Amino acid sequence: MIPAWNSNGIPFLASTRKPMLLSTVYRCVDLITDSIGALPFVVYRIDKDGFKSEAKNHPAYNLLNLEPNENMTRFVFMKTLMTSVLLTGNGYAYIERDDKLQPIQLVFIPTSACSVEWITDSNGFKRKRYRVTGFSDLVEPKDMIHVLNFSYDGIIGVSTLTHAAQTLGIATSSEAHAKGFFEGGGSASSMLKQVAGPPVTKDQKDEIYETWQNRLNPVTGKPNGMVIVPANFDYQAITVSPKDSQLLESRQFNVVDICRFFSVSPVKAFDLSKSSYSTVEATQLQYLTDTLLAVITKIELEFNRKLFLPSERNEFSAEFDTSAILRTDKAAQGEYNKNLFNIGALTPNEARRANNLPKIENGDKAFVQVNVQTLDNAMLPTQKKETIQKI
Protein backbone atom coordinates (compact mmCIF):
# COMPACT_ATOMS: atom_id res chain seq x y z
CA MET A 1 0.00 0.00 0.00
CA ILE A 2 1.29 3.44 -0.94
CA PRO A 3 0.97 6.06 1.81
CA ALA A 4 -0.62 9.41 1.00
CA TRP A 5 1.08 12.60 2.10
CA ASN A 6 -0.81 15.85 2.65
CA SER A 7 -0.69 18.93 4.86
CA ASN A 8 -1.45 16.76 7.87
CA GLY A 9 1.27 14.25 7.08
CA ILE A 10 4.94 14.90 6.48
CA PRO A 11 5.47 18.67 6.26
CA PHE A 12 7.55 20.44 3.67
CA LEU A 13 10.95 21.42 5.02
CA ALA A 14 10.56 24.50 7.22
CA SER A 15 13.97 25.80 6.10
CA THR A 16 12.54 26.44 2.62
CA ARG A 17 9.65 28.62 3.76
CA LYS A 18 11.53 31.71 4.90
CA PRO A 19 13.40 32.25 1.59
CA MET A 20 10.07 31.91 -0.26
CA LEU A 21 8.92 35.06 1.53
CA LEU A 22 11.39 36.97 -0.65
CA SER A 23 9.50 38.08 -3.74
CA THR A 24 12.36 37.30 -6.15
CA VAL A 25 12.80 33.74 -4.86
CA TYR A 26 9.05 33.17 -5.02
CA ARG A 27 8.88 34.53 -8.57
CA CYS A 28 11.82 32.45 -9.84
CA VAL A 29 10.51 29.22 -8.31
CA ASP A 30 6.94 29.91 -9.41
CA LEU A 31 8.06 30.79 -12.95
CA ILE A 32 10.17 27.67 -13.54
CA THR A 33 7.71 25.25 -11.93
CA ASP A 34 4.71 26.79 -13.72
CA SER A 35 6.55 26.51 -17.06
CA ILE A 36 7.36 22.83 -16.53
CA GLY A 37 3.81 22.14 -15.36
CA ALA A 38 2.29 23.90 -18.37
CA LEU A 39 4.33 22.08 -21.04
CA PRO A 40 2.58 19.03 -22.54
CA PHE A 41 4.56 15.87 -21.71
CA VAL A 42 3.80 13.55 -24.62
CA VAL A 43 4.64 9.88 -25.20
CA TYR A 44 5.66 9.14 -28.79
CA ARG A 45 6.00 5.89 -30.71
CA ILE A 46 9.13 5.75 -32.88
CA ASP A 47 8.92 3.69 -36.09
CA LYS A 48 11.83 1.91 -37.79
CA ASP A 49 12.62 5.02 -39.86
CA GLY A 50 12.79 7.30 -36.81
CA PHE A 51 9.46 9.07 -37.38
CA LYS A 52 7.36 9.79 -34.30
CA SER A 53 3.62 9.65 -33.63
CA GLU A 54 1.68 10.06 -30.41
CA ALA A 55 1.36 6.75 -28.57
CA LYS A 56 -2.07 7.32 -27.00
CA ASN A 57 -2.52 3.62 -26.26
CA HIS A 58 0.55 3.36 -24.04
CA PRO A 59 -0.25 3.31 -20.28
CA ALA A 60 2.21 6.14 -19.66
CA TYR A 61 0.48 8.52 -22.07
CA ASN A 62 -2.30 9.61 -19.71
CA LEU A 63 0.02 9.50 -16.70
CA LEU A 64 2.36 12.07 -18.20
CA ASN A 65 -0.12 14.21 -20.07
CA LEU A 66 -3.24 14.15 -17.88
CA GLU A 67 -3.33 12.41 -14.49
CA PRO A 68 -0.14 10.99 -12.90
CA ASN A 69 -2.10 9.84 -9.84
CA GLU A 70 -5.59 10.04 -8.41
CA ASN A 71 -4.77 13.14 -6.35
CA MET A 72 -2.99 15.34 -8.91
CA THR A 73 -3.27 16.63 -12.44
CA ARG A 74 -0.23 16.71 -14.70
CA PHE A 75 0.29 20.40 -13.95
CA VAL A 76 0.11 20.03 -10.16
CA PHE A 77 2.36 16.95 -10.16
CA MET A 78 5.13 18.47 -12.29
CA LYS A 79 4.97 21.80 -10.45
CA THR A 80 5.21 20.06 -7.07
CA LEU A 81 8.07 17.83 -8.25
CA MET A 82 10.07 20.78 -9.62
CA THR A 83 9.42 22.88 -6.51
CA SER A 84 10.97 20.10 -4.47
CA VAL A 85 13.95 19.96 -6.85
CA LEU A 86 14.68 23.68 -6.60
CA LEU A 87 14.08 24.13 -2.87
CA THR A 88 15.41 20.84 -1.48
CA GLY A 89 17.72 19.66 -4.27
CA ASN A 90 15.79 16.45 -5.00
CA GLY A 91 12.42 15.51 -6.45
CA TYR A 92 11.06 11.99 -5.85
CA ALA A 93 8.13 10.10 -7.40
CA TYR A 94 7.37 6.41 -6.87
CA ILE A 95 6.33 4.40 -9.94
CA GLU A 96 3.48 2.04 -9.06
CA ARG A 97 3.26 -0.82 -11.57
CA ASP A 98 0.76 -3.55 -12.42
CA ASP A 99 1.52 -7.27 -12.72
CA LYS A 100 2.83 -6.65 -16.26
CA LEU A 101 5.27 -4.03 -14.92
CA GLN A 102 3.42 -1.26 -16.73
CA PRO A 103 3.10 2.05 -14.80
CA ILE A 104 -0.31 2.80 -13.32
CA GLN A 105 0.55 5.71 -10.99
CA LEU A 106 3.28 8.25 -10.30
CA VAL A 107 3.17 9.15 -6.61
CA PHE A 108 5.03 12.25 -5.45
CA ILE A 109 7.15 11.70 -2.33
CA PRO A 110 8.38 14.63 -0.20
CA THR A 111 12.14 14.86 0.24
CA SER A 112 11.74 14.60 4.00
CA ALA A 113 10.16 11.14 3.53
CA CYS A 114 12.88 9.65 1.34
CA SER A 115 16.58 8.89 1.74
CA VAL A 116 19.25 7.04 -0.23
CA GLU A 117 20.77 3.89 1.25
CA TRP A 118 23.44 1.50 -0.02
CA ILE A 119 23.23 -2.29 0.22
CA THR A 120 25.80 -4.95 -0.66
CA ASP A 121 24.63 -7.57 -3.15
CA SER A 122 25.73 -11.22 -3.36
CA ASN A 123 28.72 -10.23 -5.50
CA GLY A 124 29.93 -7.66 -3.00
CA PHE A 125 28.91 -4.60 -5.06
CA LYS A 126 27.25 -1.55 -3.50
CA ARG A 127 23.76 -0.94 -4.86
CA LYS A 128 21.64 2.17 -4.39
CA ARG A 129 18.20 1.84 -2.83
CA TYR A 130 15.61 4.29 -1.52
CA ARG A 131 14.23 4.24 2.02
CA VAL A 132 10.72 5.72 1.99
CA THR A 133 8.68 6.47 5.09
CA GLY A 134 5.65 4.18 5.12
CA PHE A 135 7.20 1.54 2.83
CA SER A 136 8.14 -1.78 4.41
CA ASP A 137 10.78 -2.58 1.77
CA LEU A 138 13.54 -0.60 0.12
CA VAL A 139 12.66 0.77 -3.32
CA GLU A 140 14.85 -0.09 -6.30
CA PRO A 141 16.05 2.79 -8.52
CA LYS A 142 14.04 1.52 -11.50
CA ASP A 143 10.84 2.23 -9.56
CA MET A 144 11.79 5.69 -8.29
CA ILE A 145 11.85 8.87 -10.35
CA HIS A 146 14.68 10.95 -8.88
CA VAL A 147 15.28 14.38 -10.42
CA LEU A 148 18.38 16.10 -9.08
CA ASN A 149 19.18 19.78 -8.87
CA PHE A 150 22.88 20.76 -8.93
CA SER A 151 24.83 17.77 -7.61
CA TYR A 152 28.45 17.15 -6.61
CA ASP A 153 28.28 13.34 -6.71
CA GLY A 154 25.38 12.58 -9.06
CA ILE A 155 23.54 10.79 -6.23
CA ILE A 156 22.10 13.57 -4.07
CA GLY A 157 21.10 17.01 -5.32
CA VAL A 158 21.88 20.29 -3.56
CA SER A 159 19.21 22.94 -3.09
CA THR A 160 19.61 26.24 -4.90
CA LEU A 161 18.89 27.89 -1.56
CA THR A 162 22.01 26.27 -0.10
CA HIS A 163 24.30 27.89 -2.65
CA ALA A 164 22.44 31.19 -2.41
CA ALA A 165 22.44 31.25 1.39
CA GLN A 166 24.72 34.28 1.69
CA THR A 167 22.81 36.28 -0.92
CA LEU A 168 19.48 35.30 0.62
CA GLY A 169 20.77 36.34 4.04
CA ILE A 170 21.71 39.76 2.73
CA ALA A 171 18.38 40.09 0.94
CA THR A 172 16.47 39.05 4.05
CA SER A 173 18.40 41.57 6.16
CA SER A 174 17.66 44.30 3.60
CA GLU A 175 13.96 43.51 3.71
CA ALA A 176 13.98 43.42 7.52
CA HIS A 177 15.80 46.76 7.63
CA ALA A 178 13.30 48.30 5.23
CA LYS A 179 10.41 46.89 7.28
CA GLY A 180 11.85 48.32 10.50
CA PHE A 181 12.49 51.68 8.85
CA PHE A 182 8.90 52.06 7.72
CA GLU A 183 7.50 50.70 10.97
CA GLY A 184 9.52 53.41 12.71
CA GLY A 185 7.71 56.08 10.78
CA GLY A 186 10.43 56.44 8.16
CA SER A 187 12.85 58.14 10.53
CA ALA A 188 16.33 57.14 11.68
CA SER A 189 17.24 56.54 15.32
CA SER A 190 18.48 59.71 16.98
CA MET A 191 19.47 61.44 20.20
CA LEU A 192 19.17 64.86 21.84
CA LYS A 193 22.49 66.26 22.94
CA GLN A 194 22.47 68.98 25.64
CA VAL A 195 24.82 71.79 24.62
CA ALA A 196 24.03 74.36 27.31
CA GLY A 197 22.21 74.95 30.61
CA PRO A 198 22.09 73.01 33.86
CA PRO A 199 22.05 69.18 33.84
CA VAL A 200 18.68 67.61 33.01
CA THR A 201 16.98 65.74 35.86
CA LYS A 202 15.56 62.24 35.54
CA ASP A 203 11.98 63.57 35.60
CA GLN A 204 12.78 65.97 32.78
CA LYS A 205 14.31 63.15 30.72
CA ASP A 206 11.23 61.00 31.27
CA GLU A 207 9.01 63.88 30.19
CA ILE A 208 11.05 64.32 26.98
CA TYR A 209 10.88 60.57 26.27
CA GLU A 210 7.13 60.56 26.76
CA THR A 211 6.62 63.59 24.53
CA TRP A 212 8.82 62.05 21.85
CA GLN A 213 6.87 58.77 21.93
CA ASN A 214 3.49 60.51 21.79
CA ARG A 215 4.53 62.71 18.88
CA LEU A 216 6.62 60.40 16.67
CA ASN A 217 6.01 56.73 17.53
CA PRO A 218 3.95 55.10 14.74
CA VAL A 219 2.22 52.82 17.26
CA THR A 220 1.55 55.05 20.26
CA GLY A 221 1.54 58.40 18.51
CA LYS A 222 1.76 59.94 15.04
CA PRO A 223 4.49 58.63 12.72
CA ASN A 224 4.69 61.97 10.92
CA GLY A 225 4.31 64.19 13.97
CA MET A 226 6.52 67.05 15.10
CA VAL A 227 8.58 67.65 18.24
CA ILE A 228 9.92 71.03 19.35
CA VAL A 229 13.54 70.67 20.42
CA PRO A 230 14.49 72.87 23.38
CA ALA A 231 16.96 75.67 22.66
CA ASN A 232 19.76 74.11 24.69
CA PHE A 233 19.49 70.74 22.91
CA ASP A 234 20.93 69.57 19.61
CA TYR A 235 19.30 66.79 17.52
CA GLN A 236 21.67 64.16 16.10
CA ALA A 237 20.94 61.01 14.10
CA ILE A 238 22.79 57.92 15.34
CA THR A 239 21.98 55.50 12.49
CA VAL A 240 22.77 55.65 8.79
CA SER A 241 19.87 56.82 6.66
CA PRO A 242 18.46 54.51 3.95
CA LYS A 243 19.87 56.87 1.33
CA ASP A 244 23.37 56.77 2.81
CA SER A 245 23.25 52.98 3.22
CA GLN A 246 22.05 52.60 -0.41
CA LEU A 247 19.10 50.51 0.76
CA LEU A 248 17.16 50.84 -2.48
CA GLU A 249 20.20 50.07 -4.65
CA SER A 250 21.10 47.01 -2.59
CA ARG A 251 17.55 45.68 -2.74
CA GLN A 252 17.58 46.06 -6.53
CA PHE A 253 20.94 44.29 -6.75
CA ASN A 254 19.54 41.46 -4.62
CA VAL A 255 16.94 40.81 -7.32
CA VAL A 256 19.62 40.36 -9.99
CA ASP A 257 21.85 38.27 -7.72
CA ILE A 258 19.05 35.87 -6.76
CA CYS A 259 18.04 35.54 -10.42
CA ARG A 260 21.59 34.42 -11.22
CA PHE A 261 21.28 31.42 -8.91
CA PHE A 262 18.04 30.32 -10.59
CA SER A 263 19.32 31.09 -14.13
CA VAL A 264 16.35 33.39 -14.65
CA SER A 265 16.57 36.68 -16.50
CA PRO A 266 15.66 39.63 -14.23
CA VAL A 267 13.16 40.62 -16.91
CA LYS A 268 11.20 37.44 -16.16
CA ALA A 269 11.28 38.43 -12.48
CA PHE A 270 9.63 41.75 -13.46
CA ASP A 271 12.81 43.81 -13.11
CA LEU A 272 12.40 45.90 -16.27
CA SER A 273 15.18 48.39 -15.54
CA LYS A 274 17.46 46.79 -18.14
CA SER A 275 14.94 45.23 -20.48
CA SER A 276 16.23 45.15 -24.07
CA TYR A 277 14.01 42.59 -25.80
CA SER A 278 11.93 43.97 -28.66
CA THR A 279 9.61 40.98 -29.06
CA VAL A 280 7.91 38.37 -26.94
CA GLU A 281 9.55 35.69 -29.08
CA ALA A 282 13.08 36.88 -28.24
CA THR A 283 12.29 36.91 -24.53
CA GLN A 284 10.76 33.45 -24.59
CA LEU A 285 13.56 31.93 -26.68
CA GLN A 286 16.16 33.29 -24.27
CA TYR A 287 14.19 31.87 -21.34
CA LEU A 288 13.81 28.50 -23.05
CA THR A 289 17.53 28.29 -23.90
CA ASP A 290 19.10 29.63 -20.71
CA THR A 291 16.64 28.43 -18.07
CA LEU A 292 14.35 25.61 -19.16
CA LEU A 293 16.45 23.56 -21.58
CA ALA A 294 18.66 21.94 -18.91
CA VAL A 295 15.66 21.32 -16.62
CA ILE A 296 13.61 19.77 -19.42
CA THR A 297 16.49 17.56 -20.54
CA LYS A 298 17.16 16.00 -17.14
CA ILE A 299 13.45 15.38 -16.53
CA GLU A 300 13.01 13.71 -19.93
CA LEU A 301 16.06 11.48 -19.47
CA GLU A 302 14.99 10.38 -15.98
CA PHE A 303 11.42 9.56 -17.01
CA ASN A 304 12.47 7.74 -20.20
CA ARG A 305 14.96 5.45 -18.47
CA LYS A 306 12.65 4.64 -15.54
CA LEU A 307 9.10 4.73 -16.88
CA PHE A 308 9.58 2.51 -19.94
CA LEU A 309 10.69 -1.10 -19.80
CA PRO A 310 14.11 -1.91 -21.34
CA SER A 311 12.33 -3.62 -24.23
CA GLU A 312 10.33 -0.44 -24.96
CA ARG A 313 13.07 2.18 -24.89
CA ASN A 314 13.83 1.97 -28.61
CA GLU A 315 10.14 2.17 -29.51
CA PHE A 316 8.76 4.82 -27.11
CA SER A 317 9.95 8.20 -25.94
CA ALA A 318 8.48 10.90 -23.68
CA GLU A 319 9.20 14.52 -24.62
CA PHE A 320 8.02 17.99 -23.61
CA ASP A 321 6.30 20.02 -26.30
CA THR A 322 8.23 23.29 -25.98
CA SER A 323 6.23 24.97 -28.75
CA ALA A 324 3.67 25.81 -26.05
CA ILE A 325 6.08 28.46 -24.72
CA LEU A 326 5.84 30.40 -28.00
CA ARG A 327 2.07 30.26 -28.32
CA THR A 328 1.69 33.89 -27.30
CA ASP A 329 3.68 35.08 -30.33
CA LYS A 330 1.15 34.48 -33.11
CA ALA A 331 3.31 36.12 -35.78
CA ALA A 332 6.24 33.78 -35.11
CA GLN A 333 3.93 30.77 -34.92
CA GLY A 334 2.30 31.69 -38.24
CA GLU A 335 5.66 32.17 -39.94
CA TYR A 336 6.87 28.81 -38.65
CA ASN A 337 3.79 26.98 -39.97
CA LYS A 338 4.08 28.81 -43.29
CA ASN A 339 7.70 27.77 -43.78
CA LEU A 340 6.92 24.12 -43.02
CA PHE A 341 3.96 24.22 -45.40
CA ASN A 342 6.02 25.72 -48.24
CA ILE A 343 8.56 22.87 -48.19
CA GLY A 344 5.89 20.18 -47.95
CA ALA A 345 6.67 19.27 -44.33
CA LEU A 346 3.21 20.27 -43.08
CA THR A 347 -0.23 19.56 -44.54
CA PRO A 348 -3.14 22.00 -44.18
CA ASN A 349 -4.90 19.69 -41.73
CA GLU A 350 -1.77 19.31 -39.62
CA ALA A 351 -1.49 23.09 -39.42
CA ARG A 352 -5.18 23.36 -38.53
CA ARG A 353 -4.84 20.68 -35.87
CA ALA A 354 -1.92 22.57 -34.29
CA ASN A 355 -4.20 25.62 -34.04
CA ASN A 356 -7.23 23.70 -32.70
CA LEU A 357 -9.20 24.07 -35.94
CA PRO A 358 -11.46 21.37 -37.45
CA LYS A 359 -10.31 19.12 -40.27
CA ILE A 360 -11.12 20.10 -43.86
CA GLU A 361 -11.72 17.94 -46.91
CA ASN A 362 -8.67 17.23 -49.10
CA GLY A 363 -6.40 18.80 -46.51
CA ASP A 364 -4.19 15.79 -45.88
CA LYS A 365 -1.89 16.26 -48.86
CA ALA A 366 1.42 18.13 -48.72
CA PHE A 367 2.11 20.96 -51.18
CA VAL A 368 5.35 22.43 -52.53
CA GLN A 369 6.00 25.58 -54.55
CA VAL A 370 6.76 24.97 -58.23
CA ASN A 371 7.82 28.45 -59.31
CA VAL A 372 11.52 27.76 -58.75
CA GLN A 373 14.01 25.79 -60.83
CA THR A 374 17.72 25.02 -61.07
CA LEU A 375 20.10 27.27 -63.03
CA ASP A 376 20.73 24.47 -65.56
CA ASN A 377 17.04 24.29 -66.47
CA ALA A 378 16.83 28.07 -66.65
CA MET A 379 19.46 28.09 -69.44
CA LEU A 380 17.70 25.46 -71.63
CA PRO A 381 15.87 26.54 -74.82
CA THR A 382 12.15 27.15 -74.47
CA GLN A 383 11.18 24.01 -76.46
CA LYS A 384 13.26 21.75 -74.19
CA LYS A 385 11.78 23.44 -71.11
CA GLU A 386 8.25 22.68 -72.33
CA THR A 387 9.25 19.05 -72.98
CA ILE A 388 10.75 18.72 -69.46
CA GLN A 389 7.67 20.26 -67.90
CA LYS A 390 5.40 17.82 -69.76
CA ILE A 391 7.53 14.92 -68.58
The segment with the largest mean pLDDT, out of 7-16, 132-141, 207-216, 369-378, is 132-141
φ/ψ of residue 114, rounded to 5: -140, 140
Rounded to the nearest 10°, the torsion over CA 18, 22, 28, 34 is 70
Q: Which amino acid is at 78?
A: M
CA distance 350 to 337: 9
CA distance 372 to 209: 91
| Residue spans of alpha helices (H) in the chain | 23-38, 59-65, 74-88, 160-163, 165-183, 202-216, 247-262, 280-287, 293-307, 330-342, 348-354, 375-378, 382-390
pLDDT, average across residues 59-77: 95
- Cβ–Cβ < 8 Å for 39, 296: yes
Round the average pLDDT of the chain to a whole number and report it. Answer: 79
Q: Which amino acid is at 200?
A: V
The string of DSSP letters for 265-321 reads -TTTTT--TT----SHHHHHHHHIIIIIHHHHHHHHHHHHHHHS-TTTTTTEEEEE-
Domain spanning 190-238: which CATH class is it, in words?
Answer: alpha beta
- The strand pairing partners of 318, in sequence order, are 43
CA distance 89 to 160: 7
User: Please, what is the end-to-end C-alpha distance for the chain in angstroms?
Assistant: 71
Over its C-alpha atoms, the chain yields an Rg (Å, rounded) of: 32
In this model, does residue 365 exceed pLDDT 50? yes
Q: What is the pLDDT of residues 139-158, one digit of tens each?
A: 999 999 999 999 999 999 99
Please choose, from the candidates 35, 100, 20, the residue with its C-alpha nearest in 3D space to the C-alpha of residue 299.
Answer: 35
The domain spans of the chain are 1-183+246-326, 190-238, 329-391
In this model, does residue 115 exceed pLDDT 90? yes
CA distance 28 to 264: 7
pLDDT, average across residues 98-103: 94
In order of 116, 123, 126, the CA distances from 119 in angstroms are 10, 11, 6
Please choose, from the candidates 85, 86, 128, 127, the residue with its C-alpha nearest in 3D space to the C-alpha of residue 109.
Answer: 85
In order of 33, 143, 146, the CA distances from 106 in angstroms are 18, 10, 12
In order of 73, 91, 298, 307, 368, the CA distances from 115 in angstroms are 26, 11, 20, 20, 57
What's the whole-model pTM score? 0.70
Percent of residues, the chain, with pLDDT higher than 90? 38
- Cβ–Cβ < 8 Å for 90, 147: yes
Q: What is the pLDDT of residues 253-276, one digit of tens each?
A: 577 888 888 899 888 888 777 666
